[in-house]
Amino acid sequence: MHSPPSGSPLYQSPKMRRGLLLLLLCQLSSYTLVTPGKVCSRPLVGPSIEHSDFQRVYEVGQEVFLRCIDGYTAISGQRKIVCSANGRWSSLTFTCEPKRCSNPGPLLNGKIHIDDNLFQSIINYTCNEGYILHGANTSECLHDGTWSNQLPECEPVVCGLPKTPKYARLSYSRVVGNTTLFGDSVTYECFPPFVLFGNEVGFCKPDGSWTEPPECRLVTCPPPTAIPNGFLVLAVIREHGYTEEVTYGCSPNYVLDGPREVECQKTGNWSSKPVCRAPCTVGIKRGRILYHNRKIWIENLKPNRVLHSERLSVYCKNKEKDCGYPVVTQCIDGELTIPACYDEPSAARYKVYASSLPSEIEMC
């Protein structure tokens, strides 16, 4: 057997042969993963780790240095791993974690919406009602541990000065130059005798405008009118302004029902007037009544009149027990009902047998 001459394509030096073998083995290893005692395959490192040399295979004894990818920091473990004789890497203990950005806050008059402050986290900023955000409303934690944007500012909404309604003056809670801020208030006051309609207090709203101002109007009530069976205490009949009062009274024997004083209201109407209630005549001719705790014959009630809401009793008879009893009735605005059990005696009986009337016999 003779070898092909060196230089021919078939010639292989021993070194080349070794290299070919290595390549073959390596290819084999990629199929079987078992390369006893010869080489190490690429080290399996976590997603946040990268290494210095990048090769397909590594020889026994070869060292590889690990480092954290951008945005991550090493927290523990050996930076160096070595391909050992059994084709395995020395134990991989190196770990990295994302960098942390500092706490961005606080945001005055606003809120920071933050889930976490790790590398690549995105936080949002919002301002409270009545404040406007100046700056970026979002920020990202960068690889170097800083935020991509500066903290924004929440500046208060600015309102101009509120309009002054006619016949009114304003007093502010606070005013600087020509501007007022969200939440500022103003108090409206009408010059007398004008009357305020609407809200007495106004506010600078979150949209930069003022609440609707009130109106100042003149309120007059028409000249007060008389009431039946009564009179106005006041002499001069004229128009009246808001809150002015007039006083009513009733004719003799009429009883005032309701307030004596009546006021001119904001609506331009008078508050409800009182009513004069009429007296009653006691509608019996012959008999005795119990009135003001006194038993009196009707002909002695002079004049025959009781006032509105007064009570009195007439007498009825219990025929079974042969006794008398009083029954109450009341004068209601000129009407006094005589109880049905009342039995009016004839004129003759009244004269002769007065002592047998229900009011005179034994009480039940």
Ligand X SMILES: *[C@@H]1O[C@H](CO)[C@@H](O)[C@H](O)[C@H]1NC(C)=O
Would you count residue 115 as binding ligand X (CB under 6 A)?
yes
Would you count residue 101 as binding ligand X (CB under 6 A)?
no
Q: Minimum distance between the CB of residue 97 and ligand X, rounded to whole angstroms?
A: 20
Q: Which of 90, 64, 98, 95 is nearest to 77 (CA)?
A: 95
Site stretch for ligand X (CB under 6 A), options 24-32, 96-104, 204-212, 261-269? 261-269
For residue 162, the tally of other CB atoms under 10 A from its CB is: 21
Q: Minimum distance between the CB of residue 31 and ligand X, rounded to whole angstroms?
A: 46
Q: Which of residues 125-154 bind ligand X (CB under 6 A)?
A: 126, 137
Rounded Cα distance between 48 and 317, Å, is: 114
The three-point CA angle 333-248-239 to 5° equals: 135
Question: Which residue, chain included where needed, has tokens 């003149």?
Answer: 218
Would you count residue 292 as binding ligand X (CB under 6 A)?
no
Using the Cα atoms of residue 53, residue 57, residue 58 and residue 63 in order, give the sign of their dihedral.
positive
Residue 86 vs 124, nearer CB to ligand X: 124
Would you count residue 267 as binding ligand X (CB under 6 A)?
yes
Q: Minimum distance between the CB of residue 136 and ligand X, rounded to whole angstroms?
A: 8
Torsion angle, alpha carbons of 280, 283, 288, 291, to 10: -10
Strand-pair category, 194-197 with 215-218: antiparallel
Chain center to CA of 163: 28
Q: Minimum distance between the CB of residue 265 and ligand X, rounded to whole angstroms?
A: 8
Q: Minimum distance between the CB of residue 346 and ligand X, rounded to whole angstroms?
A: 53
Rounded Cα distance between 13 and 21, Å, is: 12
Would you count residue 243 as binding ligand X (CB under 6 A)?
no
Would you count residue 177 as binding ligand X (CB under 6 A)?
yes
Q: Which of 251, 306, 308, 305 is nearest to 277 (CA)?
A: 308
Would you count residue 271 as binding ligand X (CB under 6 A)?
no
Would you count residue 103 as binding ligand X (CB under 6 A)?
no
Would you count residue 124 as binding ligand X (CB under 6 A)?
yes
Q: Minimum distance between the CB of residue 167 and ligand X, rounded to whole angstroms?
A: 20
Rounded Cα distance between 344 and 325, Å, is: 15
Rounded Cα distance between 111 and 131, Å, is: 11
Question: Which residue, chain included where needed, has tokens 């590398």?
Answer: 119
Q: Minimum distance between the CB of residue 121 and ligand X, rounded to whole angstroms?
A: 8
Determine the size of the site formed for ligand X (CB under 6 A): 13
Would you count residue 32 as binding ligand X (CB under 6 A)?
no
Q: Which of 110, 91, 6 is nearest to 44 (CA)?
A: 91
Residue 69 vs 196, nearer CB to ligand X: 196
Residue 90 vs 265, nearer CB to ligand X: 265
Site stretch for ligand X (CB under 6 A), options 35-43, 68-76, 267-275, 290-298? 267-275
Site stretch for ligand X (CB under 6 A), options 114-122, 185-193, 246-254, 301-309? 114-122
Closest residue to ligand X, Cβ-based? Answer: 177
Using the Cα atoms of residue 217, residue 222, residue 227 and residue 230 in order, give the sign of their dihedral.
positive
* Cis peptide bond N-terminal to 4, omega within 30: no
Would you count residue 252 as binding ligand X (CB under 6 A)?
no
Residues at the contact surface with ligand X, assessed by CB under 6 A: 113-115, 122-124, 126, 137, 177-178, 267-269
